[in-house]
Structure 1
Amino acid sequence: MLGITVNETLLRRWAGWLAPSCQPFFLAAAEAGRLGLAADAARELSPELRDTYEVWNLATDLETVWLGEDAFHTLPRDVRVELVRAQERHGRGAVPTVDGWTDLLDAQALREQADEQHFVWWPSLVEPHRADVLPRWVSEGLLPCRRRSVPEEIWRAAAAVLPNARALSGTFAGGSRGSALDSGATNCFATVMTAAGVRNAADESFEAWLAARCTAGGTDDVPGSVLVWRDASGAATHAAVTLGGGWVLHKPGQEWYSPRQVISVTDVMRLAPPGLTLHRHTLR
């Protein structure tokens, strides 16, 4: 998927992270009370589930209700409708549209789950169709990795300043940052530092590394130019590193399903969100 080979072990983990047998639903206290659902404040989300459900988008005062697949389907239809609508309204991740998946999954089952427009993932939906569902879900909105298009001479030149870039490109992290499966390069900043040879990059400060290892300025056609996008407050929001020859290595997001990929410099510039300022640095 995305031009990257994924082994069966990782696919099984992904299926469990996308569609756990018991999953969280986020509700305001009044909503939970109206629907007759009890929150469980003691149960914590794993780092992977925090990514799946994009908890950074959620209001901090929402309560968490945990439901298994059987318990969810046992709820009255009107309760399921309101529950799933609330997830979409609050910004919970993994609430896809029915119309986007009826070519792969049973349309009636998807429409009957809630309001006929949105649904949530359960093992009964994902497991029988894992080979089709996961590649589409992971690939949505992303460009394919083009590491195989990079000429051999570019890789050789890049190795002098980016010793780990080639091995890192075209891979997925084993899990999310903060989990036992954390492989280090789980976000864009750690990916750049790991490519440059930093061990345990997830534990290092990107800004401190940038100040210690780089000088301001750089060009995009040589290996080792660190591209940093900053918001209006000056905070770094994304980073990538050039390989030379018009290629760049980056990790588009912090989530477990975001790959360490090679794309063109042109594409990484085009994909940058509006309102950010690009700063260039050169590895020394």
Structure 2
Amino acid sequence: MTDGYTLSSKILEQWKARILPEVDWFFFTNDECFPYGEMDVLVKSNLSLDIRTSFLTWSLPEGVFVKKMDPGEFEELSYEARQRITEIQWELGRGLVFDHEETEEWFGEHVPPLYKGAGKKLVLFTIDFWRSLEDHQKEGFLRAYSRVWVDEQPLWKGAPSSFKTFMQREYPHLIPYLDVFPERNGANCLAAVAFAIDASSDLYHWMQAEELDHLMAGREEVGGITGKEVLVWRDSEGKIIHACYALNKEFVFNKHGQTMFNPWQLLTVEQVIGSWGDPVIYR
């Protein structure tokens, strides 16, 4: 649900340019199921943030192969080949493949190519299909797609006036980013924490855990939240998997992921704990 989150025309223009790369990407579990040219082994660590976000590559199994095709090349294949490729993408969890029932209200009178697979009618996004859409249809899709990524209602606009006065005094640099979508991929939860602490920090920096550890040097673990604490969640191996910044005892500045579809958010402490569990608190 993104109603109330800031998604300006400027942001939508950036998203339209980033949602798909310059060539189509398709993924396969072995190099024999695509008889239309050679494939490469997918090396996830080499992928740009835009590619990772477009195709949800973190959902793909290890050891998959990738085939890149020029715009329109996929559409030149037989319908049977396109249908089978689409079904494979759906089964692998590739991004930008949808059940047609999800998309019926997205494109208005424009009916996308449909492919049968997994007992469904599937819509596969390709560059050729994206280019066939009018600007208002692209924007309609992006607005609808962004809703898939956000569970929480925005809080800033309806926040108490006393809290807004507090934010103006204590965190004026955060106000332009409360309940706002980024223009591009890369800004993550750790960078949001760093920016909350220091307004000169790069909010779009894809910050690594080691950098956050350095930033928190001198902070100590405490038992409660009163404000200005860093809340940290770690996995079973002790690696940081999420962090946010406590503005006061009730609200935090948060970003759930590193994609452009994850807004910077004002959340309650209860909300973020509900999503991530109990944190370690540093002051």
TM bin, normalised by shorter chain, reads: 0.7 to 0.9
Is 1:36 matched up with 2:36? yes
Instruction: Tell me the C-alpha RMSD between the 2 structures.
Output: 3.0
Distance 1:163 1:236 in 2: 28
Is 1:239 matched up with 2:243? yes
Distance 2:97 2:71 in 1: 15
Task: Identify if the C-alpha distance between structure 1 residues 42 and 206 changes in structure 2 by more than 3 Å, giving closer, same or farther.
Answer: closer
Q: Give the letter aligned to residue 39 of structure 2.
A: A
Is 1:94 matched up with 2:96? yes
Q: CA deviation at 1:54?
A: 1.8
Is 1:228 matched up with 2:237? no
Cα deviations across residues 166-225 of structure 1 (Å, max 9, x unaligned)?
233233333223xxxxxxxx001110110111523635701221233x3211534x3223
Distance 2:80 2:216 in 1: 53
1:192 alignment partner, SS class: helix
Mapping for residues 210-221 of structure 1, pairs under 5 Å: 210-212=216-218, 214-220=219-225
Cα deviations across residues 224-249 of structure 1 (Å, max 9, x unaligned)?
23221111111111111222262221
Who is 2:50 aligned against?
Answer: 48
Q: Would the aligned equivalents of 2:114 and 2:122 in 1 still touch at CA under 8 Å? A: no
Q: Would the aligned equivalents of 1:126 and 1:133 in 2 still touch at CA under 8 Å? A: no
Task: Identify if the C-alpha distance between structure 1 residues 170 and 55 changes in structure 2 by more than 3 Å, giving closer, same or farther.
Answer: same
Q: CA deviation at 1:47?
A: 2.3
Is 1:153 matched up with 2:157? no
Cα deviations across residues 75-116 of structure 1 (Å, max 9, x unaligned)?
112211221222222232222211111133369944634535
Of 68, 80, 83, 1:81 maps to 83
Mapping for residues 53-132 of structure 1, pairs under 5 Å: 53-105=55-107, 109-110=111-112, 112-115=114-117, 116-121=120-125, 122-123=129-130, 124-125=132-133, 127-132=135-140
Q: Would the aligned equivalents of 2:115 and 2:121 in 1 still touch at CA under 8 Å? A: no
Q: Would the aligned equivalents of 2:55 and 2:95 in 1 still touch at CA under 8 Å? A: yes
Distance 2:232 2:94 in 1: 28
Q: Would the aligned equivalents of 1:188 and 1:252 in 2 still touch at CA under 8 Å? A: yes
Q: Would the aligned equivalents of 2:250 and 2:269 in 1 still touch at CA under 8 Å? A: yes
Distance 2:68 2:109 in 1: 25
Task: Identify if the C-alpha distance between structure 1 residues 99 and 70 changes in structure 2 by more than 3 Å, giving closer, same or farther.
Answer: same
Task: Identify if the C-alpha distance between structure 1 residues 130 and 261 changes in structure 2 by more than 3 Å, giving closer, same or farther.
Answer: same
Who is 2:215 aligned against?
Answer: 209
Who is 1:139 aligned against?
Answer: 147
Deviates more, 1:19-28 or 1:100-109: 100-109
**Structure 1: gaps (5+ residues):** 178-185
Q: Would the aligned equivalents of 1:41 and 1:63 in 2 still touch at CA under 8 Å? A: yes
TM-score by length of 2: 0.80
Q: Give the letter aligned to residue 38 of structure 2.
A: A
Q: Would the aligned equivalents of 2:106 and 2:144 in 1 still touch at CA under 8 Å? A: no
Task: Identify if the C-alpha distance between structure 1 residues 161 and 89 changes in structure 2 by more than 3 Å, giving closer, same or farther.
Answer: same
Cα deviations across residues 9-54 of structure 1 (Å, max 9, x unaligned)?
3212212332446321112343444x42433679975421221212
